[in-house]
Amino acid sequence: MSQRRRSVAVYPGSFDPITNGHVDIIGRGLAVFERVIIAVLVNAEKQPLFSTEERVRLIRQCFPGNPRVEVDTFSGLLVDYAQRVGATVIVRGLRAVSDFEYEFQMALMNRRLNPSIETVFMMPAESYSYVSSRLVKEVAELGGRVDKLVPALVAQELRARFPRRAPRRIGGGPRRTRG
């Protein structure tokens, strides 16, 4: 049995919501690992835009009928979750140098907690290097287009959450006077 056949990777995150950058990383993970478990963090402190159930549903809809992709939720320590589901690898995406410090700290902390689980960093296509769930939500809320940055279903959900309003005049602005 090849190494790939045996390896199960966990791809953890908030996924609020899943972006095309995440989808890109999952594709890369599938090229290397036999199974990728997308693990959505249940974080009671944060106020997510999408509930855990909605985030899971949106991710599942991105990978219909793919037996090598699993979507799950987790709370508590990531390494404990990984061990429980039989994963030996944690996949994280690295978009830019600015991601590195936080990711490096997390990887080393996770290694200290459980040295048998390896963190593997993957880089998304350059075209997604600036895409984050946080910016996508902000742009959508302010009426900008995010169609190319998130899966179609996510764009649809964001449009439903943030219906486009006519731009408001600020400070009265110049008004047309009648003839």
Unique residue bearing structure tokens 């290097």: 129
Alpha helices in the chain (DSSP H): 3-6, 20-32, 52-62, 78-84, 97-113, 133-141, 152-161
Give the active site residue among 5, 46, 165, 178. Answer: 46
Q: Alpha-carbon distance 76 to 80, whole Å?
A: 8
- Give strand pairing partners of 18: none
Cβ distance to ligand PNS smaller for residue 13 or 29: 13
* Binding window for ligand PNS (CB under 6 A); candidates: 9-17, 117-125, 134-142, 167-175: 9-17
Among positions 110, 128, 136, 140, the unique one binding ligand PNS when judged by CB under 6 A: 110
State the nearest-atom distance from the C-beta of 35 to ligand PNS, in Å: 18
Active site residue 14: no
Give yes or no for residue 41 binding ligand PNS (CB under 6 A): yes
Q: How far is the CB of 82 from ligand PNS (least distance, A)?
A: 9
- b/e burial code for range 64-87 (CB count within 10 A of at least 16 → b): eeeeebbbeebeeebbebbbeeeb
Are 107 and 78 spatial neighbours (Cβ–Cβ below 8 Å)?
no
148 labelled catalytic: no
Q: Is 48 in the site for ligand PNS (CB under 6 A)?
A: no
Q: Is 106 exposed, middle or buried (0-12, 13-18, 19+ CB in 10 A)?
A: middle
Q: Are the C-beta atoms of residues 11 and 26 closer than 8 Å to each other?
A: yes
Q: Would you say 131 or 174 has its CB closer to ligand PNS?
A: 131
* 109 lines the binding site for ligand PNS (CB under 6 A): yes
Which residues in the 64-93 window bind ligand PNS by CB under 6 A?
Answer: 77-78
The residues annotated with a catalytic role in the active site are 22, 46, 95, 133
Contact set with ligand PNS (CB under 6 A): 12-14, 41, 77-78, 106, 109-110
